[in-house]
Amino acid sequence: MPIFEVFRQEKKGQAFQHAGSVDAPDAEFAETWAREQYGRRGESEALWLVPREAVHEVIDFPDEFDLKYRRVDGYSLKARLSVARERAAARTR
Amino acid sequence: MREREQLLALADDELVIGWRDSEWTGIAPTLEEDVAFSSIAQNEIGHARAVYELLAEDADALAFDRAPEEYRCSPLVELRLLDWAHTIARRYLYEQTDRERIERLMQSDDPVVAGIARKIDREEAYHRMHAELWAERLRDEPRFTQALEELRPYVDGDRATRTPEFAELWDEMTCVRRSAPGAEW
Amino acid sequence: MTEAEFIDYLHAGGQVETGDWMPDEYRARLVKFIQMHGSSELMGVLPEREWILRAPTLQRKLALTAKVQDEAGHAQLIYRVVEDLGKPREQCLQELVDGKAKFHNVFHYPTKTWGDVGVIAWLVDAAAIISQKALLKCSYAPYARIMKKICWEESFHILHGRDVVLAMINGTDAQRELVQEALDRWWGPLMQFHGTKIEPENDPMLHWRIKSQGNEEARQQFLEGYAPQIWEIGLTVPDPKLHRSDDGVWEYTEPDWDELKSVVTGHGPRSADRLAFRRRFLEQERWVRELVQAA
């Protein structure tokens, strides 16, 4: 039986998140069934149903040379800030 | 039929078809369908409750404390149908006739009745979708087409007389309640 | 990764996804454990579904239908996880009806009265939820994720069960008696539910971080939470030894482990006929599954 991935929006404005999957022969059955499995308690604002084969997984993100400059942890301002403050203080004396 | 009689017939139909549909809990053809079908059964019991509450102070007493001959359900819903082809055939036939009845009640002069009928209709829309989805898939299956033909005569059956199947249903439905009449549960 | 590295990874809190490499033993234990959970949810439906039909009020009928619906829904969530680990659902279901798949002891016993309905929803579900909450930390992430939904849905089951019990306790003498009598019958299976004591270092489920809680810990948690609730409403349990000692450990008469073993290997009072019932409908509706899949 084909598999449909279910994405769920809990409240308006929130992102859709993956919630699970259903075995269903086609989109119509998937809708009827996912609606109850992921919405019978009014817990979902909306659902997206996607055939599993339409989902492409991407899992490999090489960063061999540690390109830290693009991230917040690539910056340590402490030492320079310390020097700059000292110099500013020295100028005003 | 006066409106009050229509309402009782509606409530009794929904109670009994909800009872019959809940017999599929845990044993439907697939687990996904099991969950969906159980929601339909709960909706139906919910509809019955809403209408019983219109008709009486104590909805549970009206639902469960009558003698079999006082119920006004259709013979169609009384039948025990523990195979899928017949179950879907019944749902399909039931939803068709129920739709006309609900549409009439939505036009009621009584705004409370019309309001409840509208709420029921909004939920029944999904029951209709479900029945039509299955009916379409099963349309070439002889088990299904035969079941439709077998059940069609029951649609406009006599509501004043119970089928032989009802006695067992009533007995099971009321046995706990009868064990302590008037008790809180 | 070697198996040793994988185990270090798990012990450091590492999580595993479906497509990740995993040792054969880990995969096999996962499938067995998770399949047993799925089988249990599916068999758990059967003791309770008869009572939907007999529910004495509309509200109770609705609540019980919703509870049992949740169990079928949980079976769906759980079997999906097993399928993604490589074992088809039809195979799981066939193994179940052929008596080759184990399921929890409690679902092999009969339900005799409306008293059972309350006791099961309150106490059997309570025992199950303790295990389920511990599974939120399972190293296999797809299973941990569905446990979140399962725990969330289970939250009303215990309340419903306790409400049913309280209504009867506050009712007629006959109603009270139904509850006490049901509790007397269910106490043994409840005490056996979490399984025999296993030393943590000998527990493969803990080693592979599939479970995060040992059997005895779960049972202690159950007693700590629920024995006081049972006693405070005047109910008794058929174990004169049950008490909480000064160091906080609950002491009790050793459960009948032979009974547990016999029951989970399919020799419980209702094992055979419930499996036969399942088999009947699995086979009867096979044409439906084949038809919709073929389309």
Report the gap between the CA of C70 and the closest CA in chain B (Å): 8
Per-residue pLDDT of chain C (295 residues; tens, 9 = 90+): 899 999 999 999 999 999 999 999 999 999 999 999 999 999 999 999 999 999 999 999 999 999 999 999 999 999 999 999 999 999 999 999 999 999 999 999 999 999 999 999 999 999 999 999 999 999 999 999 999 999 999 989 999 999 999 999 999 999 999 999 999 999 999 999 999 999 999 999 999 999 999 999 999 999 999 999 999 999 999 999 999 999 999 999 999 999 999 999 999 999 999 999 999 999 999 999 999 987 6
Instruction: Give the integer Cα–Cα distance in Å for A51 and B110.
Output: 47
Q: Is A21 on the interface with C (CB under 8 A)?
A: yes
Residue B113 to residues B43, B56, B106, C234, Cα–Cα distance (Å):
17, 14, 7, 46
**Residue C39: other Cβ atoms inside 10 A:** 25
Per-residue pLDDT, B17: 98
**Residue C164: other Cβ atoms inside 10 A:** 25
Check whether B78 has a pLDDT greater than 70.
Answer: yes
Q: What is the pLDDT of residues B6-31, one digit of tens each?
A: 999 999 999 999 999 999 999 999 99
If you write DSSP's letter for every residue of C260-280 in order, what string do you get?
Answer: HHHIIIIISTTHHHHHHHHHH
Backbone angles phi, psi at C140, to 5 degrees: -85, 105
Per-residue pLDDT, A74: 82
Contact flag B59-C172 (C-beta cutoff 8 Å): no
Contact flag C65-B172 (C-beta cutoff 8 Å): no
Question: Closest Cα partner for B4 from B72, B64, B69?
Answer: B72
- Average pLDDT over chain B reads 97
Beta strands, E only, chain A: 3-9, 17-23, 46-51
Contact flag A20-C89 (C-beta cutoff 8 Å): no
Q: Which of B14, B15, B17, B25 to probe the C interface (max C CBs under 10 A)? A: B25
pLDDT cut 70: percent of chain B above it? 99
Instruction: Give every CB contact of residue C64 below 8 A, 6+ residues apart in sequence.
Output: C48, C51, C52, C55, C117, C121, C160
Contact flag B185-C164 (C-beta cutoff 8 Å): yes
Coil/strand/helix, residue C255: coil
Alpha carbons within 13 angstroms on the beta-carbon side of residue C276 total 4
Q: What is the pLDDT of residues B82-132, one digit of tens each?
A: 999 999 999 999 999 999 999 999 999 999 999 999 999 999 999 999 999
Contacts of A1 in chain B (CB under 8 A): 30
Query: Higher confidence at residue A63 or residue B137?
Result: B137
The token pair that represents B30 in the structure block: 């697939």
By Cβ distance, the residue of C19, C80, C289 closest to A21 is C80
Handedness of CA C33, C39, C45, C48 (dihedral sign): negative
Instruction: Give the integer Cα–Cα distance in Å for B69 and B72.
Output: 8
Cβ atoms of residues B91 and B24 within 8 Å: no
When pLDDT is cut at 50, 70 and 90, the band that residue B1 belongs to is low
Per-residue pLDDT, C295: 65
pLDDT cut 70: percent of chain C above it? 100
pTM of the model: 0.95
Instruction: Give the integer Cα–Cα distance in Å for C264 and B151.
Output: 43
Q: Is C166 on the interface with B (CB under 8 A)?
A: no
Per-residue pLDDT, A93: 77
Q: What is the pLDDT of residues A24-82, one digit of tens each?
A: 999 999 999 999 999 999 999 999 999 999 999 998 888 888 888 888 888 889 999 99
Q: Which residue of B has its CA nearest to A21?
A: B32
Per-residue pLDDT, C141: 98
Q: Is A45 left (phi over 0), alpha (psi -120 to 50) or beta?
A: alpha
